Chains A and B, each alone.
Chain A
């Protein structure tokens, strides 16, 4: 389409294997058929996305302006922005937003620090890098269901192995999942356990891509290690790390399954994130209209975060 096709084929073996049909299509008709082909190839995927992602969101948008309830049935009454003002002014929602913020910031910060540290340590090894990386990646590949269930067992106050180990070290027992404060900390710890490998993997990709000659040049200049880290390693890895952090932030913000399995929002509402609260409003309270408005507001936050993420991604690709 843009450049004229090369006159010689690079791989004659492949082309010669079949008997080519008679040539003789004008450039123009080919361009037209290209456009047709592009539409034919992209539209099925786009249609499925429209049906399963866009249309439901539009429906939720419509429901968010009504008092519709999934159990009551009957025609929905238009409330316009009543649902939205109710949510934005609700102290309950404010509390959930705070919980979510603490959780997202706490978990992502811990993961980033730990993940980067592990990646840095691995990148300095010359032997066994592949094996180490593979071992560290195990938690990330597990389903949140398995992770949640298993940590629930390990953190059990009576027969959990964590308290058992604390006991044999002579330390006190901790009510990991049943204490008001500790439950949120436990949630952050479990999420950190699962997703530190994610940051590690991406940081490692960045670290191994730093050209060696930069370090060599720096060591000829007798630059200190900290100076090298600060002026060579960090600036080169930072863009990629930022992508990973934003990605994790979006994922943590919309997290639901781990909360559901590990604590079910409890004790009380101490680990109820926004996602979990939406679920309660929608599926336990059956206030579908309110839940839709709540969901739309969450989607707006996700869209802002995603835009940020995609913009950085774009910048990274152009460099």
Chain B
């Protein structure tokens, strides 16, 4: 029974076997685990790689049977088609990308401007029924979009917001505010309230204390939160397809989905448009990778 402490503590997944058997079993098992992980990673990544491959293939090779994995001709035509219309000039797809930038940017800005102060107030003050309010705020985010869009559609038709960028910006801001408040409250909780108390002892008002001392410390958190809000608005599809119809307003997700409406589908173009659409998201997601757990659970889980 004499197990030396060194041996037990040395390797983290320490095993209770003789050293020799352990080395063999451990290595065999590690190889198996790495192999399994590699296979799983390949399966998870294959569709993304296939999408990139399709976007640079010539049409002939896109529809080849059996599928061509390596020996295909590389072309950038599909990417050109994404941005340039067949007769020259800007394509409708590129317009929709611009619309997406405007809508996602403006709605994120609005959600941040409204959400950050609210998060600070919920973190610092004894608001009445605080917990209930916060849970209510989060639960609005869980409403099925198809259900919400019916009355929103009627409401927008009434006030003339249907098929406008402003309409989309407002609904996306409303849909990002619960996330912003929950995510930011976590960041505000991490900044000690004593900083503000100290500033107030020096004669600043509470508002000045927030503005001058707390807000600068929150900037990295605000940036991360805004990036997530940007991704959510950028990827959103349901509201976009029901609340907009004209090319000058339509954002990228419904525009890309519209590419498969006709009788023949140019899958090379779909792939290229998808790559252009997904690339910024992946870059942004990489930038906020440290906050991913909090981000994807809408700020509810923090580790």
Chain A residues near B (Cβ < 8 Å): 1-2, 5-11, 14-15, 18, 20-25, 30, 33-35, 37-38, 41-42, 44-46, 48-49, 51-57, 59-60, 63, 70, 114, 118, 121-122, 124-126, 132, 134-146, 148-154, 158-159, 161, 164-165, 167-168, 193, 196-198, 201-202, 205-206, 209, 212, 215-216, 219-220, 222-225, 240, 243-244, 247, 250, 253-254, 256-257, 260-261, 275-276, 278-279, 282-283, 288, 291-292, 295-296, 298-299, 302-303, 305-306, 309-310, 313-314, 316
Contact = CB atoms under 8 A, between A and B. Distances in A.
Contacts of B237: 143-145, 257, 260
A60 B150 contact: yes
A275 B144 contact: yes
A254 B153 CA distance: 18
Nearest to A11: B195
Contacts of A56: 148, 151-152, 155
Interface of B: 3, 8-9, 12-16, 33-34, 36-37, 40-41, 44-45, 47-48, 50-51, 54, 62-67, 114-115, 117-118, 120-122, 124-127, 131, 133, 135, 137-140, 142-148, 150-155, 170-171, 173-175, 177-178, 181, 192, 194-195, 197-207, 212-213, 231, 234-238, 241-242, 253-254, 256-257, 259-260, 267, 270-271, 274, 277-278, 281-282, 285-286, 289, 292-293, 296-297, 300-301, 303
B201 A135 contact: no
Instruction: Specify which of A136, A146, A167 lies most central, judged by the most chain B CB atoms within 10 Å of its CB.
Output: A146
10 contacts: A6-B194, A48-B177, A57-B143, A60-B147, A150-B50, A150-B271, A153-B270, A168-B66, A257-B237, A295-B150
B232 to A, nearest CB: 10
Nearest to A297: B147
Nearest to A251: B142
B260 A240 contact: no
Interface residue SS majority, chain B: helix
Nearest to B257: A145
> A-B pairs with the 8 shortest C-beta distances?
A295-B147, A52-B174, A5-B197, A23-B203, A143-B235, A254-B144, A56-B151, A9-B198
Contacts, number: 325
A212 B54 CA distance: 45
Contacts of A135: 41, 44-45
A59 B270 CA distance: 38
Contact of A146 (B121, B139, B201, B274): B274
Given A9-B199, A52-B170, A250-B142, 9 more contacts: A20-B203, A45-B117, A124-B13, A136-B40, A139-B44, A146-B274, A201-B296, A222-B16, A283-B242
A130 to B, nearest CB: 8
